[in-house]
A and B are shown apart, each in its own frame.
Chain A
Amino acid sequence: MRKPKRFYSLNRPKVRQSWNKHNLYNLARMVGDQPQMNGMRTFFQQKWDAKARTRGYHGDHIPEKKWIRLFDRRLRSAVDMPPKYLALNDGSEQAAGRGSGLTTNQVSAENFWATAEVSTTFPDRVNHPRMRSASRLSKNSLLAQPLSNMTPYMQMTFAPLERRLDTAIFRALFASSVRQARQFVIHGAVKVNGKKMVHPSYQLNPGDMFQVDVEKVLYGTGQQKIPQESVRFKSRLEKAEEREEKAQAQLIKENSGEVESESAEGSSESPEGAKPAALSEEDQLVLREQLLESLLVDVKMVLRDKTRMKLSAKDKSRLRVFRKSAAKFLSRPEGSEIDADELIEELQSQMKSLNMYSHGKERGEASEDADQVREPNEQQKQRINRALDIEGLDDKQKETAIKIIGYDHLKKSELRNLADLLKQEAENPIDESKPYATPWRPRPFMSAFAFIPRYLEVNPNICAAVYLRHPVARKGLGEVPTPFPYFTSQLAHNWYLGRG
C-alpha cells in the first residue's frame, strides 16, 4: 500500500515500524500510550482509535481487507513446565480441597522457574518528561498493576503479521523499516530455504530459514552516504600522490643532474619518458629506497606512537593511503585488491633487497633493542629527513615526528602488527562504489531499536535467520514486539472480533 502523506507526523503522530528519528522521538514521548480514561468517549470511539493507532504500526503497508483475513481470534501462549516440577508433582496439589478453612500448599510450576526475571522497579532514568507522568500515579498505571502477573494474551493480537516474511526481516534487524524489508523481498534479495522468494506476504513456517543479501543489509542498516566524505578522502589520496610524484621528480632531477652534468643539458627537456633510461642502476636503487622510506613514514607514525591506545580516524586514513600507495609502489594494476599478508610479504622482500630490513632476532626483544641502539648513519638520517620533507612538515613538526618514528628500520614484529591492522582495516574498507557510507557504521539511534524476539534465531555474520516457532504469550511477557499497552491492544482486538 502507498506510503501515506505525513508518515512521521509530529502533530498527529503515529508509531511506525521504522528506525527513523521522528519515530524515536514519538516513542519517547509516549505516543503509543493509551489516552487517559475520562469517560467522555464511547466504547466504539475508543475501539476505533485503538484500531487506528495499532494499525499505524502493525502492517500499515497491508490493506485492511488483507489484515482482516489474517486476523485470528485464537491467541497462542505457552507455559514453562520445568521437568523437575512435572516429576515431583502430579498436579493433584493444585486440585486439593480448599474448603473448610483449608489452605493448600503454594506449589506450582512457577516455583521451579530458573530463567532470569524481567526487571520491574522504576528507575529514575526517563527519556522524556511525559514518560514519568505516564508511568506513575495515573489511572492507567493502577489498572495495569495486576497485568504483570498474568499472561498478556491481548498483546498477541497482531501475532499473525509477525509470520510475514517482510516483518520477520525487519525483526531480525536486516532492514531499517518494514517497507524497506518489503522492497528487499520484491527486488529479489531474499531467499527462503535457499530459494529466491519475491512475495513479502509469504507466511513463514516454523523452521524456515531466510537469508538477505549482505550488501542490501549493509545498505539498509548502515549510515547514509554523504557525498562530501568520499570527496575528502579522494582529495587526501590525491594530495599524497601529488606529493610523491613531485618528490620523485625532484629526486630524479637531482640524481640525473649529477649524472648528466657532464653531458648535454638540453636533453632533460623530455621529463617523463627519458628518465628511467637516464638513471644509472645505482641511482635507481637510491630512488627506490627513498620512495619506500617516504611510504613507511606514515606506518611508523601509526605503529610507534605509544601515546594513543586506539587508532584515531587520522591513523586509519594514513593506513588507507599507505595501502593504496604501497600497491602502486609494488606496481600493482590500479583498482586490484591486494591481500594484507601478501602486501606485507612483498614489502618485506623489497626491504630486504634494499637492505632496509632490521633483522631483529626472533628469540627475544633484547636483541632487537640492541639493534635499535646502534647509531644511525648519515645516509639513513638524510633519507628520513627527505621523506618528512615530502610529507610537507615544517622543522618543528619534523622534530616531533622523528622523536616518534626514530631513525631505525621497521622490525619484524612491527610488520606483523601492521599486517593485523591492515586486515582489520580491510574488514570495513572505504569503498565509494557502495550505496552507503563507508567504512560501514550503524544508523544513528539503531541501538534503541535493536532487539531480536525469541521466536527468531539470527546469524548476523551471513545475514540469515531461522523462524523457530510462532510467537507466544507467557506469564508477564508478550512476544509480539508492539509499542502499545495492554488496553490499547485489548480495544483493537475487540474491534477485530467484530462483536458490537
Chain B
Amino acid sequence: MAPRICGTSTTLASLDACLQTSSRLAAHATRPFSLTCRNEKITKGRYEMVKWIKEKATNNFDKNHPTYLGPQVDQPFPSNPLFRSQTVLSESMKNRIYTQVMDHGVAMKAVSEEMQVDVRRVAAVVRLKELENHWKLEGKKFATPYAKAVMKMLPQSQWAHGDMNIPHEPINDIPVHKLSMQQLFVPVSESRHFTREDAAKAFHEGLLSADKRSPQRELIEIERQAAEEGGDRATSIEEFRKEAQEAEELYATELARKSELEDARVKKQQKGRFEFRIKRYNSENVGKYGRARDATGWRYGAALQDRKRGMVKIPTSVP
C-alpha cells in the first residue's frame, strides 16, 4: 500500500519533492517518520461551527445567570418545548427548611405545606444539610467554587415569610395508577351523584380514590373546614401542624423502640479492634425447597446459583 499523502495520490518521486520543498517540514522535525500532512483546509461544516461558536456562543452563554439555547428562556433543548429547566431551591430556602425541621422541630409535612415544597424534597434537603454539617465538623473541603458557579447558572425559587410566594412545586401530586389508565364506558343514570369514589370503584374494586391516595390527606380536611361556615383557616392550620408534629414524634419513638428491640437481640462482644455481633439464627429455615434467599450454608442438592452465567449480581438496593 502506498503511503498516505495529503491531496491526490502521488508517486514516490513527487513524495520526495514534497518532503524537500514542504515548508511544513520544520514542524515535522519532532516526528520525522510521520508522512501524514496536517489537513490545513477546514471543512465547510467545521468552518460554520467555528464561526457560530465565535459569533453566537462565546459571549452569549453567560456564566452568571441561566442561559439556555431556547427559543424560550427556560428551554434547554430547542426541539423539545415539553422539557423546561425548572427552578431549584435557593440556598436560603434550604437553610430555612433545615432550621425549621431540625432546630424548631416542625413536622416535615407542616414545612412542606408552609413553603409549598414536596415532603420528599423536604426530607432530602434535611438529609443533605445534615451530611454537609457532618463534613464541616470533619473539616472536609467543600466544592465551593463549583457550587457557586452552578447555583448562578440555575433558575432558583425564592421564598419570603409572609409574602405571596410562587409555589416551588405541587405538594399534592397524585401518581396516575396503572388501573386507571384504561378508557372505560360506564353508563350511569343522569340523576346519580357520581363522585371520584365511584369512578375509582368503576376502574377496579380495590382502587382508592384520589382523596385517599393523596400524600397530604390532612390538608383536604383543613380546606373543607375552612370552606364551611364559620370556619377559620388559620386555626385549623395550627391544629394540623400540631397533629403532624405529634404523628411524627410517635413515628420516631416507634422507630427508636424497634431499633432498640433489634439491638437487644444482638449480643455484642468487643475483642480488640473488632466487635463480634452474635445473633440467634435457625439454620433450618431454608424455605420449602431449600433455596430460600436468606438461607445460609451449603445444602445437598441445592447448588448455589451465583456463579452461573447471566446471573445478575448488581445490587438492587443499598440499605
Tell me, yes or no, whether A64 is within 8 Å of chain B by CB.
no
**A201, A450, A472, A474: most-surrounded residue (chain B CB, <10 A):** A450
**Could you say which residues of chain B place their CB within 8 Å of the CB of A427?**
144-145
CA distance A243 to B118 in the complex (A): 61
Of the candidate stretches B19-27, B28-36, B55-63, B283-291, the one touching chain A is B55-63
In angstroms, how far is the closest chain A Cβ from the Cβ of B239? Answer: 15
Of the candidate stretches A217-225, A328-336, A388-396, the one touching chain B is A217-225
Q: A115-B166, A202-B315, A466-B124 are in contact. Are A447 and B82 (CB under 8 A)?
A: no
CA distance A331 to B178 in the complex (A): 72
Contact at B78–A30, with CB atoms within 8 Å?
yes
**Could you say which residues of chain A place their CB within 8 Å of the CB of B84?**
118, 477
Tell me, yes or no, whether B194 is within 8 Å of chain A by CB.
yes
**Could you say which residues of chain B place their CB within 8 Å of the CB of A119?**
72-74
Instruction: Report A91-132 CB contacts with B as 1/0, cut-off 8 Å.
Output: 110010101000000000000011110111111011110010
Of the candidate stretches B5-13, B167-175, B242-250, B292-300, the one touching chain A is B167-175
Contact at B173–A79, with CB atoms within 8 Å?
yes
Q: Which residue of B lies closest to A151 (CB)?
A: B176
In angstroms, how far is the closest chain B Cβ from the Cβ of A88? Answer: 6
Contact at A461–B170, with CB atoms within 8 Å?
no
In angstroms, how far is the closest chain A Cβ from the Cβ of B268? Answer: 22
B195 contacts which of A90, A214, A453 (Cβ < 8 Å)? A90
Q: A218-B146, A459-B132 are in contact. Are A477 and B83 (CB under 8 A)?
A: yes
CA distance A64 to B80 in the complex (A): 24
In angstroms, how far is the closest chain B Cβ from the Cβ of A168? Answer: 13
Q: A148-B81, A448-B69 are in contact. Are A469 and B172 (CB under 8 A)?
A: no
Interface residues of A in 1-15 (CB under 8 A from B): 10-11
Q: A92-B195, A155-B83, A448-B67 are in contact. Are A83 and B222 (CB under 8 A)?
A: yes
Contact at A477–B77, with CB atoms within 8 Å?
no
Contact at A155–B131, with CB atoms within 8 Å?
no
Contact at B82–A462, with CB atoms within 8 Å?
no
Q: A28-B69, A461-B147 are in contact. Are A447 and B63 (CB under 8 A)?
A: yes
In angstroms, how far is the closest chain A Cβ from the Cβ of B242? Answer: 18
Instruction: Report B290-319 CB contacts with A as 1/0, cut-off 8 Å.
Output: 000000000000000000000000111111
Contact at B60–A127, with CB atoms within 8 Å?
yes
**Could you say which residues of chain A place their CB within 8 Å of the CB of B81?**
120, 144, 148
Contact at B62–A32, with CB atoms within 8 Å?
no
Q: A127-B60, A464-B128 are in contact. Are A218 and B143 (CB under 8 A)?
A: yes
Tell me, yes or no, whether A316 is within 8 Å of chain B by CB.
no
Instruction: Report B106-117 CB contacts with A as 1/0, cut-off 8 Å.
Output: 000000000010
CA distance A92 to B131 in the complex (A): 48
Interface size class of A (residues with CB under 8 A): 35 or more
Contact at A462–B135, with CB atoms within 8 Å?
yes
Q: A126-B71, A135-B71 are in contact. Are A462 and B121 (CB under 8 A)?
A: no
CA distance A461 to B136 in the complex (A): 11
Contact at A81–B172, with CB atoms within 8 Å?
yes
Contact at A81–B82, with CB atoms within 8 Å?
no
CA distance A134 to B80 in the complex (A): 11
Q: A22-B49, A460-B147 are in contact. Are A448 and B227 (CB under 8 A)?
A: no
Interface residues of A in 413-453 (CB under 8 A from B): 427-428, 439-442, 444-453
Q: A81-B172, A445-B61, A454-B86 are in contact. Are A221 and B146 (CB under 8 A)?
A: yes
A131 contacts which of B70, B87, B169 (Cβ < 8 Å)? B70
Contact at B61–A451, with CB atoms within 8 Å?
no
**Could you say which residues of chain B place their CB within 8 Å of the CB of A208?**
317-318
Contact at B188–A95, with CB atoms within 8 Å?
yes
In angstroms, how far is the closest chain B Cβ from the Cβ of A456? Answer: 9
Q: A82-B172, A197-B318 are in contact. Are A95 and B67 (CB under 8 A)?
A: no
Contact at A134–B88, with CB atoms within 8 Å?
no
Main secondary structure of the interface of A (DSSP, over half): loop
B199 contacts which of A91, A125, A448 (Cβ < 8 Å)? A91
Contact at A131–B143, with CB atoms within 8 Å?
no
CA distance A218 to B62 in the complex (A): 19
Contact at B173–A80, with CB atoms within 8 Å?
yes
CA distance A255 to B87 in the complex (A): 67
Q: Which residue of B lies closest to A466 (CB)?
A: B124
Contact at A115–B79, with CB atoms within 8 Å?
no
Tell me, yes or no, whether A147 is within 8 Å of chain B by CB.
yes
Instruction: Report A458-500 CB contacts with B as 1/0, cut-off 8 Å.
Output: 1111111110110010101111111111100000000000000
Tell me, yes or no, whether A169 is within 8 Å of chain B by CB.
no
Tell me, yes or no, whether B252 is within 8 Å of chain A by CB.
no
Of the candidate stretches A70-78, A358-366, A379-387, A401-409, the one touching chain B is A70-78
Contact at A32–B169, with CB atoms within 8 Å?
no
**B77, B82, B210, B223: most-surrounded residue (chain A CB, <10 A):** B82
CA distance A77 to B316 in the complex (A): 23
Contact at B173–A127, with CB atoms within 8 Å?
no
Q: Which residues of A contact B (CB under 8 A)?
A: 10-11, 21-22, 24-25, 27-30, 32-34, 74, 76-84, 86-88, 90-92, 95, 97, 99, 113-116, 118-123, 125-128, 131, 134-135, 144, 147-148, 152, 155, 173, 192-193, 195, 197, 199, 201-203, 205-209, 211, 214, 217-218, 221-222, 427-428, 439-442, 444-454, 457-466, 468-469, 472, 474, 476-486
List 15 interface pairs A-B (beta carbons < 8 Å), by A numbering: A79-B173, A83-B172, A91-B196, A95-B195, A118-B84, A128-B52, A173-B150, A197-B315, A218-B145, A440-B145, A447-B66, A448-B68, A462-B135, A481-B76, A485-B82
Q: Which 7 A-B pairs have the closest CB atoms?
A: A91-B196, A87-B223, A451-B85, A80-B170, A10-B45, A466-B124, A83-B219
A-B contact sample (19 more), CB < 8 A, given A27-B77, A126-B71, A214-B142: A28-B57, A30-B78, A78-B173, A82-B172, A120-B81, A123-B73, A134-B78, A134-B79, A208-B317, A209-B128, A214-B140, A427-B145, A447-B67, A450-B153, A461-B142, A461-B144, A462-B142, A472-B173, A483-B78
Q: Which residues of B contact A (CB under 8 A)?
A: 43, 45-46, 49, 52-53, 56-58, 60-63, 65-74, 76-89, 94, 116, 118, 120-121, 124-125, 127-129, 131-132, 135, 140-147, 149-151, 153-154, 166-170, 172-176, 178, 188, 190, 193-197, 199, 209-211, 214, 216, 219-224, 226-227, 314-319
